[in-house]
Amino acid sequence: MAALLNRQATFNYFIENKFEAGLQLVGTEVKSLREGKASFNDAYCLVEGGEIWIQSLHIAPYSHGTHSNHDPIRTRKLLLQKREIKKIESQLKEKGFTLIPLKIFFAANGFAKIEIGLAKGKKQADKRESLKKKQADREMKKDQYED
């Protein structure tokens, strides 16, 4: 299974720092993730009581699950070391920083991992600049192949 990417993250935010964390999941959530059925729309992370939680991450109910299937939008705990949590917490106190999910993947040992990023929101002009740069890069590649 390939990693599930949050493609909107790099368009809407400047990513300052990246962290890798474990996800505390139930069995049907893991099976659904292996099928690639997750959505990052409006997902974000918060620090509460010395722990980091991810909100609004939609993991679709498992197709072969029973009546005891998981809640698709439940709050999930992220597993990080205390020193990483303190580092993130201190950086989040600065104005304009937020914690967003960047991608979900499975490590070599089979555990689900999530990459989270400490980010600052882009203004509309910055987004336009990103689009122009992307378009210019695309045209340069196109010209390169034509030669």
**Residue 119 confidence (pLDDT) above 70:** yes
**Encoded tokens for 68:** 């005891």
**Residue linked to tokens 């089979």:** 110
Domain extent, residue 68, equals 4-146
Number of domains the chain contains: 1
Residue 63 pLDDT more than 80? Answer: no
Sole residue written with tokens 């991810």: 54
Residues in the chain: 147
Amino acid, res. 15:
I
DSSP-derived secondary structure letter, 110: S
Q: Considering the chain, what percentage of its residues have pLDDT values greater than 70?
A: 95
Residue 99: count other Cβ atoms within 10 Å of its Cβ: 21
Classify 39 as helix, strand or coil.
strand
3-state secondary structure of 68: coil
Q: Which CATH number do you get for residue 17?
A: 2.40.280.10
Q: Say what the pTM is.
A: 0.79
pLDDT for 83 equals 93
pLDDT band, residue 37 (cuts 50/70/90): confident
pLDDT of the residue at 137: 87
Interatomic CA distance for residues 138 and 119, integer angstroms: 26
User: 121: which 2 tokens?
Assistant: 């929101």
Say what the pLDDT of residue 147 is.
61
Query: Which residues touch 99 (CB under 8 Å, ≥6 apart)?
Result: 44, 45, 46, 47, 52, 88, 92, 116, 117, 118, 119
